[in-house]
Chain A
Amino acid sequence: MRIALAGQPNCGKSTIFNHIAGYKAITSNFPGTTVKYTETNIHINGYTCHCIDLPGTYSLTSGDPAELEARSHLLSGEVDVIINVVDASLLSRSLELTLQLLELEVPMVLCLNMMDEARRKGIQIDHQKLSKILGIPVIPTIAKTGKGLKELFHEALHVYEEKTIGINLKFSKDIEEVISQTTSLLHHKGLSKKKVPLRFLAIKLLEDDPLFLNEIQRNNDVVDQIRTFQEKLVETHGVPSDQVLSSERHALAMNLFEQVATVIHPPARDIRMVMDQWVMHPFLGYLILAIVFYAFFNFIFGLGGYVEKPLLGFFERWIEGSKEFWGKGSLLFFLTQGALHGISGGIAIVLPYLVPFLIGLSLLEDIGYLPRVAFLMDAFMHRIGLHGKSVIPFILGYGCSVPAVMATRILEFPQHRLIVAVLATMIPCSARITIIFALVAFFIGPNAALALFALNLLIVALSGRLLSHFFSEPQSLGLILEIPAYQLPPLKNTLKKSWYRIKEFVVIAWPILIIGSLILALMEYFEVEKYINWFLSPLTTLLGLPEVIGTPLIFGLLRKELSMIMLTQALGTTEVLTLLSKTQIMVFSVFVMFYIPCLATIAALWREIGKKGALLAVLFGLMVATVLSSLIRVVLEVFPLW
């Protein structure tokens, strides 16, 4: 049995999913967190159920790629039961999707989630009445606490066994007439599809849905007939046919809402409304934004720097010890040193910054601050030819470029997605942030690190301008973004999410770091790395860096942290300042910040924006990195700051 969780964005599908699956799907408080589906197997009463968490979709009309993914999955005929998750505090709007899902004629359960939020807003819902009208079970839940979820899945099993298909509410008489004429036309022409109910297909064709119209394109006479039916709707209602149907559905949903829900008191005014007064204020909002990010920065640096120093010293003593024990120049010493650099890189350099950073980012996401940032930044994003929604991939980019590139699916236009994906890879991900903190902030000073972040934003903005000049979009819709209510971060969930992301480093990246260090140690012992360094010497000479840095840069393509860990291995010491000047550290960091994205990111780019897009990102990044870091070198050599 296959169960799909479907619903509008940010209604808590992933929270429900995680409750039954353990933490597998990232949850956040902004629309569009899930852009591709996640699956798991669960057991209910002896049945093995395959449960799918779909991206949120506002409706079943065509939308952005994330929404289309949800829709095509629902239409694939591979879903046995739909659990329609609904934010009960937004019931009237959410019912429009429910009505569309009912048109699919698949066994369904309605999950009224966030009942606590609805109560706070003073909305009282008669769920039994709603269940009677729609002909499907309606279960009130609070996913955050897990309340009602057990019953929800039992009902899902029940509707599967009973094949309970809900009731399609009827539109106005004249519209129903046109729909039935369309269905009989489709039926006669043998155009009925096995997986898609005839009524649903007819409605989509009347709505002028490009995807379905394409499929019947070859039958010219049918298309002509459909057009006359559409005309009929336009004539009687005076608006385009898609609007006739969406208004009808809206009216049905509002009507249904009034039948089953009563607003017993106006929304309780609470601190969250006061917060928004400040956070989205045209002046204070930006001040708060600056303070939040400055505090965030200091939190990471303070915590990380405090831990890095003693740990590095500790490992340095071990390396010294092994030098004495094995003898300088012996293979065993090279290997021990390589392994120790890999291990210390993880414990002393990466984790101290990564852990506070990921916890902080998860907190910001779960509270719901990011959509507010999108609101505040929209005007600036327009200056570089984008709009506020693109801020979300950018902020996610500070965590990891891979989800950032995938998050571009929430954007409507392919041109936008291409630009934002390329720019998002230029935002320093947590690996590169670690490099900035552990090298620049640690050895030069926190202000130098802040300057680098500012420089990065400037370059990203300029690149945005440049790219949107070349890839201009047809007609921008501008920003349409839901701003969800703040949520108190469910602390357990926030920590689980942070752990989920940290685990990725510990399990995947760290072993690569250690192996990479060992390989470099071997290469050094057998003097192979010389050839790579020689090959890259034009670049390192241009940047004024020691030749030995060439190999770490190549390894950095696997994982960005590698280029720093291996820097210590290549230099043969964690006391970087003894071998690199502060200027060289700056030049190295700027180069690493922008040059070619790591392999995982290139793969993600390839999937999301195609081969050419990925190539563009690689070449563009390399160009920016080379030009900018040689420029920095010249500037710092002419005007030495230290």
Chain B
Amino acid sequence: MTLDQIIENRKAKVLDIQGGHGVRQRLSQMGIHPGDIITILRFGALRGPILVEVHGSQVALGRGIASRIIVEEVE
């Protein structure tokens, strides 16, 4: 499943990031790589961005990006 399909307040483990150089790089700069655990905090209204927590920092991700992050739910 992809990151935008996880329910609020659940945790997910990144399995793969689909997309080119650009997407992978921007995400890895935010500390999101395959293997990392992401907590989904909140979905923005009107298909707005998703707020996640990763390695202690909060990051807002657009839905387009989130749908390219393949994850599995953990816990």
Contacts and interface: CB of A to CB of B under 8 A. Distances in A.
B21 A208 contact: yes
Interface string A70-89: 00000000000000000001
Interface centre among B21, B25, B29, B64 (most CB of A within 10 A): B29
Given A63-B29, A375-B51, A482-B58, A477 B44 contact: no
A323 interface: no
Contacts of B31: 92-93, 96, 250
B6 to A, nearest CB: 17
B42 A280 contact: yes
Given A89-B56, A92-B56, A375 B29 contact: no
Interface string B8-34: 000000000000011111111111011
Given A379-B48, A480-B60, 8 more contacts: A59-B28, A61-B29, A92-B56, A282-B42, A378-B60, A478-B62, A479-B61, A482-B59
A376 B29 CA distance: 23
Interface in A245-277: 246-247, 250, 267
Contacts of B23: 477
A93 B25 contact: no
Interface string B26-58: 111111011100000011111111010001111
Contact of A375 (B46, B55, B60): B60
A90 B57 CA distance: 7
Contacts of B29: 58-59, 61, 63, 96
Contacts of B45: 282-283, 285-286, 376, 379
B2 to A, nearest CB: 13
B56 A483 contact: no
Contacts of B60: 371, 374-375, 378, 388, 479-483
Nearest to A58: B29
Nearest to A485: B58
Given A280-B42, A282-B44, A378-B44, A478 B65 contact: yes
Nearest to A59: B29
A199 interface: no
Interface centre among A93, A208, A267, A380 (most CB of B within 10 A): A93
Q: Which 9 A-B pairs have the closest CB atoms?
A: A478-B62, A58-B29, A282-B45, A379-B48, A479-B62, A478-B64, A93-B31, A379-B46, A483-B58
Given A90-B55, A280-B51, A375-B44, A482 B30 contact: yes
- Chain A interface mostly helix, strand, loop or mixed? mixed
Which bracket fits the contact residues of A?
35 or more
Interface of A: 58-59, 61-63, 89-90, 92-93, 96, 121, 123, 208, 239-240, 242-243, 246-247, 250, 267, 280, 282-283, 285-286, 371, 374-376, 378-380, 382, 387-388, 412, 476-485
Given A121-B56, A242-B21, A480 B61 contact: yes
B26 A477 contact: yes
A378 B62 contact: yes
Contact of A250 (B33, B59, B63): B33
Contacts of A479: 49, 60-62, 65
Contacts of B33: 246-247, 250
Nearest to B67: A478
A243 B24 contact: yes
Nearest to B24: A243
Given A61-B25, A246-B28, A378-B44, A478 B56 contact: no
A100 B56 CA distance: 21
A286 B57 CA distance: 23
Contact of B43 (A282, A374, A382): A282
Given A379-B45, A480-B26, A93 B59 contact: no
A133 B61 CA distance: 34
Contacts of B34: 239, 247
A239 B45 CA distance: 35
